[in-house]
A = this chain, B = another copy of it.
Amino acid sequence: MSLDSPRIDDAIPDTPLESAEALEERLRMIGATRYHDLHPFHDLLHGGKLSRGQVQAWALNRYYYQSSIPLKDAIVISRFRDRTIRIEWRHRIEDHDGAPDSEGGIERWLKLTDGLELDRDYVVSTQGILPATRFAVDAYLHFVRDRTPLEAIASSLTELFAPSIHERRISGMLANYDFIDPSIMTYFKTRLSQAPRDAAFALDYVKTHARTPEERQSVCDALIFKTNVLWVQLDALHHAYVSGFPPPGAFCPETDK
């Protein structure tokens, strides 16, 4: 009987992680092979290959992810009895929620959807998003609630890889779409400085607090989980709006090309 051999993640070795340095190296390898900058949908998005309706679908769905991040961060905070961690993590909520006198990341994302002429109430309702978007994002909330505090922090480490994708997104989208202008891209510009600061803290935390090979492996698995959360969202967009199979009840753009 010829058995089909599983493709375990060929690109990522599973040798024991004996040191903090080995952990960091493995984390960067995971980013290099699994971060969603490698997803074909991003090539289309950044290269100007999408219609306005497809960009709308991306921004609409991604709103559900963005608007869930402060919930995620509040759950992370709730996992720590150590006040110093809570204090360190707290600004993340404000980064996204803003304050009465300052906008945050969610408001900046809504400027993007405004600029794409999506109705704001419709966006905020999340009624037209793909079910796969909801399942993936909700999986992230459940993960930080149910796993260890170490894994909860580790799952944020995709931020290590965010600045380069944001730079490409800003330049690519401004150059390639006449419906995109700098005023609606402020979300990404702000994240260029926020993400590295946050990623540096989280990386230092996991390097210090994962003390056994098993704990270091759990950190890697948390990062792999999170890359899946991001990848699944793009797979679903690609299937629905590039391959052309929107599921029942999902947003359908006006024909625009």
> Is A156 an interface position by the 8 A CB rule?
no
User: Which of the 9-residue segments A19-27, A81-89, A125-133, A161-169 touches chain B?
Assistant: A125-133
Complex formed: what's the CA distance from A200 to B167 in Å? 56
User: Which of the 9-residue segments A61-69, A174-182, A248-256 touches chain B?
Assistant: A248-256
User: In the complex, are the beta carbons of A117 and B2 less than 8 A apart?
Assistant: yes
Interface residues on A, range: 35 or more
> Is A99 an interface position by the 8 A CB rule?
no
Contacts of A249 in B (CB 8 A): 7-9, 34, 224
Query: Which residue of chain B is the closest to A128 with respect to CB atoms?
Result: B6
CB interface residues, A 220-257, toward B, < 8 Å: 224, 227-229, 231-232, 235-236, 238-240, 243, 245, 247-254
> Is A16 an interface position by the 8 A CB rule?
no
Instruction: Please give the residue numbers on chain A whose beta carbons come within 8 Å of chain B beta carbons, in ascending order.
Output: 1-9, 11, 33-34, 38, 40, 53, 56, 117-119, 122, 127-128, 131-132, 134-136, 138-139, 142, 224, 227-229, 231-232, 235-236, 238-240, 243, 245, 247-254
